[in-house]
A and B are shown apart, each in its own frame.
Chain A
Amino acid sequence: MIEVPDLAVGALALGTLSAFALGGGLLRSRRQLAAQRAKTAALRAQLDGTSRTFTSEVEHLAARRVPAAARQAAHPHVTEPGPLNPQLAGSPLGAALERVLTGLHAELAAQRTRIDAAAQAGMRGATREIQAALYRLQDALRGLQQRYDDPELAQTLFELDHENEQSLRRAQIAAVVCGAWVGLAREESHLVDAVTGGQARLAGYRRVRVSNHLAAGTALVSHAVEPVAIIVAELLDNALRHSAPDTEVVVNLEAVHHGVCVTVDDAGLGMTQDERARAQRMVAGSDPILLTELGDPPRMGLAAVGRLTRQFDLSVDLTSPSPYGGVRAVLRVDRHLLTRIDPEELPPAASAPRSTRRAVPATPPPEPEAGSAPAVVPRTPEPLPTAAGHDHGYGTEQDAETPAPGHHGPRESGGLPQRRRRGRAPASAGPDAADGVPQRRPRRPEESAAALGALQSGTAAARSAAGSNTAAVPDVPEGAPAATTADPASEDAASNHDEGGTAR
């Protein structure tokens, strides 16, 4: 039997034990709790830190990186700062922030293109109007030039015409840079006319020396005329601008295998490698043009050249330095843009330099066609019949061979008298030439009409001037237009020609 005290002792012991056990548990849990608290506090601190970093990173993004990214779109040399905390680079947060910037870049670029396109459209409209107005002004000025020959007035008109050409050039390239059409349709023209026309559009045109080494009659198809004139003007403008005012800019027109090259050499400073590369990129026209990238004030020349070369399949090269020390620009016009104009039918402008090759083809005549009469052999020593004499002497079949041994193939035959206008060998008197009168060149009816019209108007002017001595400037309206247009009465003029010939 168990005693009560034993029981009590046992219970006490049990209680003590359990108390110990419980106390231990309690202690442990307390310690655990403390540890937990500490951990929580640490975590909270860390979280605070992280969110601070996050906030400051976003603030940095807003304050520095986004503006830098925006500026970079316009100024590529601006460097974009990285994240504030370099360790962020690989983290998801870093990647997310990068994506913000990428999106921004894309949107900015799109906006820029849109805004630029709008600006270009606006400018296109404005320049088109200006260009048309300047052409009207040009017509008026040229009309006045034809009508009045008082030197003082003519001087003013020349100056105004030149000013007008320069304004026209600026308006035109602005329009071209903005994607407009060149604004003027021309007929097919001598290449040298296009080059000389381009030269005339510049302030320093007197410093330009053009040498024409092309075969006479080398011409541009109609749609290439104005672009070539614009490109030449811009290349010349660059050359004139970057060379000393007392140096010449030399232009050479040469035939090459694929067509024709217009070489512009200046004796200026030349370009550095970087400038050269940039210029070459511009004239290649492969990058889209943004007005905002052309600087302030915008440098449009090369950009316009780029547009035109791309549009009209021309090529411009600026990569080689000039032997004169400056820049050499080479415009190549390929064969498919070239054509021929009979230089006797439509001679180039009076101010356009004559071909240096003029004499060359005349001396070694292409061997006469096999079937032709022996009479075609001459052209060198013995007295030659004139062209007109030829026709009268030998009938039509020769026409096919004789017309222009030096210049071009038989372009027109059919028994009409062949006109040899320029580069004719100084032949002695032909069969029908009157003694004393040197060779007489048959003029085209249109030419005769123009000359006679001019003479008539001149006479009328003199009469009216004599009639009213006060009138210093004779007013001769009708005659002047007659000088430039073919007269329907050319038939008359042609027959009159021989009578008028005494004055010739």
Chain B
Amino acid sequence: MTGRRGGRPLVPAYLSTGGVARPSRAHLERLSVLTGSGEPAPAELPAAQAALLEELEYGSLTVVEAAALLRLPVSAVLVLAADLLDRDLVLARAPIPPARRFDPDLLKRVADGLRDLKHR
């Protein structure tokens, strides 16, 4: 049985967007959350956009997650998502503001404390 896909991909990424890498909307980011709008997909939707929409059928995804699932670079997914946004097939939410960075010092102290507990 074929396990995982290895080797060189047959279909290059630029084909997914027809060679376009500049999204029609600038505000999308790697961590923007995409949700399908529930509108029925038109039949003439390009294959890659349809594939993205299909991935979103089962719940929201961030752009990076969708890229990983579709095996496309993030730049291509940004274009696809922007096109779907233009057609109102997808809703996008700005990324959740990044949490404050963990204080490495604090983490280290917690780890030390845990280790202490273990050795006690």
Q: Do A and B bind each other?
A: yes
Chain B residues near A189 (CB, 8 Å)? 10
Instruction: Indicate the member of B29, B31, B46, B65 with the most A CB atoms within 10 Å.
Output: B65
Q: What string of 1s and 0s marks CB contacts (under 8 Å) between A206-240 and chain B?
A: 10000000000000000001000100000000000
Tell me the bound Cα distance from A151 to B81 in angstroms: 14
Chain A residues near B85 (CB, 8 Å)? none
Instruction: Indicate the member of A157, A159, A446, A459 with the most B CB atoms within 10 Å.
Output: A459
A400 within 8 A of B: no
Chain A residues near B10 (CB, 8 Å)? 186, 189, 193-194, 196-197, 225, 229, 349
A351 within 8 A of B: yes
The one of B5, B18, B68, B75 that contacts A454, using a Cβ cutoff of 8 Å: B68
Chain B residues near A148 (CB, 8 Å)? 75
Chain A residues near B21 (CB, 8 Å)? 151, 154-155, 157-158
Q: Smallest CB-CB separation from A156: which chain B residue?
A: B21
- Contact A458–B58 (Cβ < 8 Å): no
A299 within 8 A of B: no
Q: Smallest CB-CB separation from B38: which chain A residue?
A: A438
Q: What string of 1s and 0s marks CB contacts (under 8 Å) between B65-106 and chain A?
A: 101111111111010000000000000000100100100000
B37 within 8 A of A: no
- Contact A458–B62 (Cβ < 8 Å): yes
A451 within 8 A of B: yes
Say yes or no: A350-B47 contact (C-beta < 8 A), given A162-B14, A450-B68.
yes
Bin chain A's interface residue count.
Answer: 35 or more
Say yes or no: A158-B14 contact (C-beta < 8 A), given A151-B23, A440-B58.
yes
- Contact B15–A196 (Cβ < 8 Å): yes
B116 to chain A, nearest CB (A): 26
Q: What string of 1s and 0s marks CB contacts (under 8 Å) between B8-24 and chain A?
A: 11111111111111110
A161 within 8 A of B: yes
Chain B residues near A422 (CB, 8 Å)? 54
Tell me the bound Cα distance from A149 to B5 in angstroms: 23
Majority SS of interface residues in chain A? helix
- Contact B101–A463 (Cβ < 8 Å): yes
Q: What string of 1s and 0s marks CB contacts (under 8 Å) between A179-208 and chain B?
A: 000001111110001101101100001100
- Contact B2–A187 (Cβ < 8 Å): yes
B38 to chain A, nearest CB (A): 10
Chain B residues near A399 (CB, 8 Å)? none
Q: What string of 1s and 0s marks CB contacts (under 8 Å) between A448-466 and chain B?
A: 0011111101110111001
Say yes or no: A145-B2 contact (C-beta < 8 A), given A352-B11, A503-B33.
no
- Contact B51–A350 (Cβ < 8 Å): yes
The one of A146, A186, A451 that contacts B65, using a Cβ cutoff of 8 Å: A451
Q: Which of A409-464 contact B (CB under 8 A)?
A: 412, 422, 437-441, 446-447, 450-455, 457-459, 461-463
Majority SS of interface residues in chain B? loop
- Contact A350–B71 (Cβ < 8 Å): yes
Q: What string of 1s and 0s marks CB contacts (under 8 Å) between A471-500 and chain B?
A: 000100000000111100000000000000
Tell me the bound Cα distance from A454 to B67 in angstroms: 8
The one of B15, B17, B59, B67 that contacts A503, using a Cβ cutoff of 8 Å: B59
Q: Smallest CB-CB separation from A157: which chain B residue?
A: B21
Chain A residues near B12 (CB, 8 Å)? 142, 161-162, 165, 197, 200
Q: Which of A134-188 contact B (CB under 8 A)?
A: 135, 138-139, 142, 145-146, 148-152, 154-155, 157-159, 161-162, 165, 184-188
- Contact A142–B13 (Cβ < 8 Å): yes
A346 within 8 A of B: yes
- Contact A451–B58 (Cβ < 8 Å): no
A467 within 8 A of B: yes
- Contact B64–A457 (Cβ < 8 Å): yes
Tell me the bound Cα distance from A146 to B70 in angstroms: 12
B47 to chain A, nearest CB (A): 5
- Contact A187–B19 (Cβ < 8 Å): no
Chain B residues near A330 (CB, 8 Å)? none
Say yes or no: A346-B64 contact (C-beta < 8 A), given A200-B14, A351-B48, A439-B58.
no
- Contact B68–A349 (Cβ < 8 Å): no
- Contact A354–B50 (Cβ < 8 Å): yes
Q: Which of A120-140 contact B (CB under 8 A)?
A: 135, 138-139
B9 to chain A, nearest CB (A): 7
- Contact A466–B98 (Cβ < 8 Å): yes
Chain A residues near B46 (CB, 8 Å)? 351
The one of A138, A197, A200, A459 that contacts B98, using a Cβ cutoff of 8 Å: A459
Q: Which 8 A-B pairs have the closest CB atoms?
A: A504-B59, A154-B75, A197-B10, A154-B21, A458-B64, A454-B68, A349-B11, A158-B14
Give the interface of B toward A (CB within 8 A): 1-23, 29-31, 33, 46-48, 50-52, 54, 58-65, 67-76, 78, 95, 98, 101
* 6 A-B pairs with C-beta separation under 8 A: A158-B13, A162-B19, A187-B5, A188-B2, A200-B12, A461-B30
